[in-house]
Structure 1
Amino acid sequence: MTSEAEDGPFFLEKVSVLGDSDDEYQYEEVPVDDLSVGSTDHLDGFDKTILSIEESKQDEKAAIRVEGPPVASLIHRPEVIDDFVRNFLLRMGMKRTLQSFQTEWYEMQQKGLLGNEDIGVVPDAYCRNQTLGDEVKRLKSELQKYMTAASKAKDTHVKLQKERDFHRINHKRAVQEKNRLITDIKRLKKHYNSYEPTLRELKHKYELAMKEKMLTKLERDRAVGQVTGLQATLRNLETGKEVMLPPVSGYRAQRSANRGGPTQSALREARGSVENKREQPKTSNTQDSEFPTDSRVNPYLTHAKGPPTHLTRTGGFRQTGSIRGHDLAISSVSLHPRKQIAVTTSDDHQWKMWAVPSGDIIMTGEGHTDWISDSDFHPSGAQLATSSGDACVKVWDFSKASCVLTLPDHTHAVWGVSWHSCGDFLASCSMDNTSKIWDVHSERCRSTLRGHADSVNSIQFLHFANTLLTASADKTLSLWDARTGLCAQTFYGHLHSVNNAVFNLKGDTIGSCDSYGTVKFWDVRHVAPMITVDVGPHPANRVAFDPSGHLLAVASNDGTIKMVEVGTSDVTMLAGHDDAVQAVTFDIGGQFMLSGGSDGSMRVWS
């Protein structure tokens, strides 16, 4: 303020403002005549100039449409000193300094204290330094980005190198294995090729032996024919009394039309008798048991004329007890034929005997080296048979509290066992596609039942009969004659692997289930399907008929038990297990039902 009082007032810029002038001049509108487009001769110089400007504008617009929009150009103006300082202060954020600078700068400029060199253009050195400083900052920022990217690329490169080395080692190992296998294959081919001459020689010897056998048979037939002819001739020459020569073994004397020699039927009969004598074993195993006749009467034929009312009512079953006895899944539950005792088998390689329904444990059996799949009580109740994944069948004697018999002839896991009603024979089925019938007295396999094309999943003897029922993963059920080991009948109808099949107590109906939850009932006498019930989509693991035969319990993989009424196909669901239900069975008196599941528990239903 002091400087202003001394030097007098000053102005940033002096401007003179003039008022509006109104000379009241009258403007006259000049009319524009219509001119022809093609002629320009009548136009004066000014009009020609306007027309040429318009034509040039039109040409520029056409060129812009052809060439595209114009590119914006940037005109760089040199920076003056005050703008340079002002930009510097703004960039540094020094706003108060900026205000002081502007006040003093404009004050000095108005007073004329600044020369042209002070307010002129900034020297090129400063501008260049500023430009180079900005460029350095930008380059440093880019350098940092590139260094980060290079570090990542280096890590990726190291990782890829390690992977390459790993795959290279594996490739070398695979090549070595391939070369070794190729060498082994060549060696085996060479070894097998050495057998071809021996095979050809054996085949030639076999053909010669067959030829000699055929010639021997022809010679034998001719000799037998001659002997028979001589016998007939001697009988014809007999006079007075008839002389009977001892006949040749296996042939009948021809007394009628064919007196000159034996017939073809007589030759076949003689040949069959000779072969039968040759094939008959000289000694027999005196310890083998004899199958009982099928003339015995099933005492269950008159058992339970109708369905019990407490079984057919909705909600008729309820859980009354639970026994937690195994750490792993329970695979089967078997009931004693005369006492309220149950045996459970489990994947923990043990079987346990329980008092039902109290749940008191009576006995524990250990001896299998793998999971135990099934068990069955001896008809007398004094023994127990178990099957296991170790391909063995074991027989346990309760009085001796130990295993008394091990049957190891199966080549794969054994799925099920069943006692014959006489107690002398035991049947087993296996994953090796076969079933076997064992004689417990001679401790040997009496016969092997072959016919299924896949694993045989369950097996059961018909009550008081020599008939066996098997269910297989080849989607079929088969009935077998245990005495001959021949398949008597095969049931077709399931579309998936059959997990289990059982007879009812009367033996006239079969219930079966498959891996898609389909349950079928079969008429044994008519060999035909009766009813099909779908309780899926979860697999059905096992089925059991109630004593009356009017109700079928289905152990399902969804943790429930499906109760199917045979007459109406009505389905009732019982829930209680925490995991899949693997086994289900009824008390012979129809008082309660037992079930076992993958949760390691046995549930009591009544």
Structure 2
Amino acid sequence: MADGLGALRLEDSDDDFKYEEVDVMSDGDDDASEDLDAALRKLQAFTAKETVTGKARTPEVLPGQVVKKPEVIDDFLRNFFIKMGLSRTCDCFEAEWYELKATGRLDSSTTVPDVYLRNAELEDEVSSLRRELAEAKSIASRASATWDKFRKERDFHRMHHKRVAQEKNKLLTDLRRLKEHYAKYEPTILELRKKYETLMKEKMMACLERDKLLSRLETFESSGAVAAPTAGERSAGATSLAGRGGAAAAADASPTATSRSNGAAPGSAGATTGGPRSGWASLNAPPRRNPYTDLEFPVVPVKMLSLSKTFKGHLLSVANMALHPTKPILVTASDDKTWKMWHMPGGDLIMCGEGHKDWVAGVDFHPAGTCLASGSGDSSVKIWDFEKQRCVATFTDHKQAIWSVRFHHLGDVVASGSLDHTVRLWDLPASKCRMALRGHVDSVNDVAWLPFSSQLATASSDKTVSIWDARAGLCTQTYYGHQNSCNGVVFNILGTTLASTDADGVAKLWDTRMTAEICTINTGKHPANKAAFDRSGQVLAVAVDDGKIKAYSATDGVLQVELAGHEDAVQAVLFDPAGQYMLSCGSDNTFRLWT
């Protein structure tokens, strides 16, 4: 062992080295420096190239960073021997180790893995896995609780569904049983309804017949009281007969009729029509004094009105309505192509008119109450006779839909306003169109006769309101001021004030004597449809598209009350002539009574 150690001892000696003297100021220093710089540049370029091509490189160590490298095997063993106090064993190990290394029989040294570091890493990994396991167990526990909750709710809802299904089946069974039960009563109800309608019709026919007989009796008595009437008086008497007992005048009117035997007007009427009987003479008759001129009527207390009854009598929107001149009877026109007659204020159905092929927008009673005129979207005007219980005349000269129809106060002429921009005047006794009033450049939405005269007012979509002389067929006055389509026009009972409404929600009052605007009323942002004066002429009620009826003072336009009750747009409004109630109809398929 001593010989081995002696052989491996190293001796420092300078004899074995040969030194070469180098001149410090040699000219080759500059060349060597340049060669060194070139070599460094090539090395940097080569390093950059290897980085670009993606070759594996040893990660750089940042300055000041401590890198822990694992121990080599021999250092590990030396440290172990010294730690355990095995110094002689350590000397033997070193002698043999270096001998093998010197002879080349020892492989390149390898490092010893740091067991403690590895154990620490494994402990950290185990701790992390344990935490993940604990979290997974917690999540699984919560999921199990949630699953149990959902299972219980599922069972509850399943049980509830079964119970509801059983109740539904029971209700269906009861409903089927009730339908079968009530089906037995349906024929009886229909029979009773037919009997009721028949009795009501017979009652109304009896009332009309009574009124006709009373009218004839009054006519005979008045004619017997005058000894020798003049020609003008005979003409006035014939006109009065046509106005009061118009049942005979309207009953015989038909599209093919050419003459009438009752109440034939002499003179110009025969020359105009070419026949012995014409209703056109009523327009050319001397002006009649308004019988209400010297009368005063109480103002309707609109602030006290409230919704009393609601009647749903149509399948579609109720577009218009009209009141009987002498009886508490209302007629409604609807988009369901029918008109219906009702007894008010009870709302009992009297009769129903079917025959139009499209919606019905205009209706009006004969001044004597014996017949009815209706205008429809099928471009026709029909005359309905209550005594004959059928349509006795149909006029089809209009080219487009008809919005409004109005009887002249004597009952022999009907005016109709149409979408074809015209107003036509129909001669009922002659069953023909006497005149077409042309001048509007858009649809004529409403017409109204000046009370007890031959002047006619029209409201048009061309934003104007016009006054026409029906005898000459000329426009005598045009009112300007509306900024949108005019929807309605109406006179007060004296004919001194005209009200018009438009699609901007504006109502205007016009003085017909001064041909000037009285005031402008703004009802809101919704269109204003039809309007109506009360009998005193002091209150104007306006039907508005927002489902309200708004009443204003006719003198200064001040709002008095807003009546809400309709569920959709209000199309028309009317006052009872006696001032006891107000009626309205709308797009909610109903008409309503306000008392």
CA-CA distance at 1:430 after TM superposition:
0.3
Match of 1:10 in 2: none
Counterpart contact for 1:108–1:114, Cα < 8 Å? no
Counterpart contact for 2:504–2:525, Cα < 8 Å? yes
Find the aligned partners of 1:433 and 1:584 in 2 and give their Cα distance. Answer: 25
Match of 1:337 in 2: 325
1:52-71 equivalences in 2 (<5 Å): none
Match of 1:323 in 2: 311
Match of 2:469 in 1: 481
Match of 1:286 in 2: 276
Q: Of the two structures, which has the highest relative contact order with CA contacts closer than 8 Å and spacing of 6 or more? A: 2
Cα deviations by residue, 1:338-381 (Å, 9 ceiling, x for unpaired): 11111111111111111111111111111111111110011111
Cα deviations by residue, 1:74-133 (Å, 9 ceiling, x for unpaired): 8965579xxxxxxxxxxxxxxxxxxxxx99x9879935999438669xxxxxxxxxxxxx
Instruction: Return closer, same or farther for 1:369/1:282 CA change in 2, 3 Å cut-off.
Output: closer
Find the aligned partners of 1:282 and 1:603 in 2 and give their Cα distance. Answer: 45
Find the aligned partners of 1:498 and 1:390 in 2 and give their Cα distance. Answer: 22
Find the aligned partners of 2:483 and 2:272 in 1 and give their Cα distance. Answer: 48
Residue from 568, 584, 589 that aligns with 1:595:
584
Query: Is residue 396 of structure 2 the alignment partner of residue 408 of structure 1?
Result: yes
Instruction: Return closer, same or farther for 1:322/1:109 CA change in 2, 3 Å cut-off.
Output: farther
Counterpart contact for 1:345–1:352, Cα < 8 Å? yes
Residue from 72, 76, 94 that aligns with 1:110:
76
Instruction: Return closer, same or farther for 1:405/1:283 CA change in 2, 3 Å cut-off.
Output: closer
When normalised by structure 1's length, the TM-score is: 0.55
Counterpart contact for 2:73–2:109, Cα < 8 Å? no
CA-CA distance at 1:285 after TM superposition:
2.9
Instruction: Return closer, same or farther for 1:358/1:106 CA change in 2, 3 Å cut-off.
Output: farther
Counterpart contact for 1:517–1:556, Cα < 8 Å? yes
Structure 2: state its 5+ residue gaps: 1-47, 60-68, 78-96, 98-104, 113-269
Structure 1: state its 5+ residue gaps: 1-69, 81-101, 121-279
Percent identical pairs in the alignment equals 45
Amino acid at match of 1:445: C
Match of 1:297 in 2: 289
Query: Is residue 416 of structure 2 the alignment partner of residue 425 of structure 1?
Result: no
Instruction: Return closer, same or farther for 1:521/1:442 CA change in 2, 3 Å cut-off.
Output: same
Find the aligned partners of 1:411 and 1:433 in 2 and give their Cα distance. Answer: 10
Partner SS for 2:333: strand
Find the aligned partners of 2:273 and 2:319 in 1 and give their Cα distance. Answer: 43
Find the aligned partners of 1:561 and 1:303 in 2 and give their Cα distance. Answer: 28
Counterpart contact for 2:508–2:521, Cα < 8 Å? yes
Residue from 425, 435, 441 that aligns with 2:429:
441
Q: CA RMSD in A?
A: 3.0
Partner SS for 2:76: helix
Match of 2:216 in 1: none
Find the aligned partners of 1:592 and 1:468 in 2 and give their Cα distance. Answer: 28
Counterpart contact for 2:422–2:444, Cα < 8 Å? yes
Instruction: Return closer, same or farther for 1:594/1:119 CA change in 2, 3 Å cut-off.
Output: same
Cα deviations by residue, 1:16-58 (Å, 9 ceiling, x for unpaired): xxxxxxxxxxxxxxxxxxxxxxxxxxxxxxxxxxxxxxxxxxx
Query: Is residue 397 of structure 2 the alignment partner of residue 397 of structure 1?
Result: no
Counterpart contact for 1:294–1:466, Cα < 8 Å? no
Find the aligned partners of 2:504 and 2:585 in 1 and give their Cα distance. Answer: 20
CA-CA distance at 1:282 after TM superposition:
10
Amino acid at match of 1:337: P
Find the aligned partners of 1:451 and 1:354 in 2 and give their Cα distance. Answer: 37
Match of 1:219 in 2: none
CA-CA distance at 1:491 after TM superposition:
1.3
Match of 2:25 in 1: none
Size of the aligned set, in residue pairs, is: 352
Counterpart contact for 1:395–1:404, Cα < 8 Å? yes
Instruction: Return closer, same or farther for 1:114/1:531 CA change in 2, 3 Å cut-off.
Output: farther
Residue from 554, 562, 572 that aligns with 1:573:
562
Match of 1:367 in 2: 355
Amino acid at match of 2:435: S
Counterpart contact for 1:306–1:550, Cα < 8 Å? no
Counterpart contact for 2:273–2:430, Cα < 8 Å? no
Residue from 491, 510, 524 that aligns with 2:479:
491
Match of 2:62 in 1: none
Partner SS for 1:110: helix
Cα deviations by residue, 1:446-473 (Å, 9 ceiling, x for unpaired): 1110111111110011222111111111
Residue from 495, 503, 517 that aligns with 1:529:
517
Find the aligned partners of 2:331 and 2:554 in 1 and give their Cα distance. Answer: 28
Find the aligned partners of 2:548 and 2:56 in 1 and give their Cα distance. Answer: 90
Match of 1:307 in 2: 299
Match of 1:95 in 2: none
1:85-484 equivalences in 2 (<5 Å): 110-111=76-77, 115-116=107-108, 284-289=274-279, 290-292=281-283, 293-305=285-297, 307-308=299-300, 310-311=301-302, 315-484=303-472
Amino acid at match of 2:276: T
Partner SS for 1:291: helix
Find the aligned partners of 1:307 and 1:114 in 2 and give their Cα distance. Answer: 133
CA-CA distance at 1:302 after TM superposition:
3.0
Match of 1:35 in 2: none
Find the aligned partners of 2:273 and 2:317 in 1 and give their Cα distance. Answer: 48
Instruction: Return closer, same or farther for 1:77/1:493 CA change in 2, 3 Å cut-off.
Output: closer
CA-CA distance at 1:494 after TM superposition:
1.3
Match of 2:13 in 1: none
Amino acid at match of 2:558: D
When normalised by structure 2's length, the TM-score is: 0.55
CA-CA distance at 1:569 after TM superposition:
1.8
Amino acid at match of 2:363: S
Match of 1:186 in 2: none
Amino acid at match of 2:587: S
Find the aligned partners of 2:273 and 2:298 in 1 and give their Cα distance. Answer: 52
Partner SS for 1:464: coil
Query: Is residue 594 of structure 2 the alignment partner of residue 605 of structure 1?
Result: yes
Partner SS for 2:429: coil
Cα deviations by residue, 1:306-365 (Å, 9 ceiling, x for unpaired): 534x23xxx321111110111211100111111111111111111111111111111111
Amino acid at match of 2:296: A
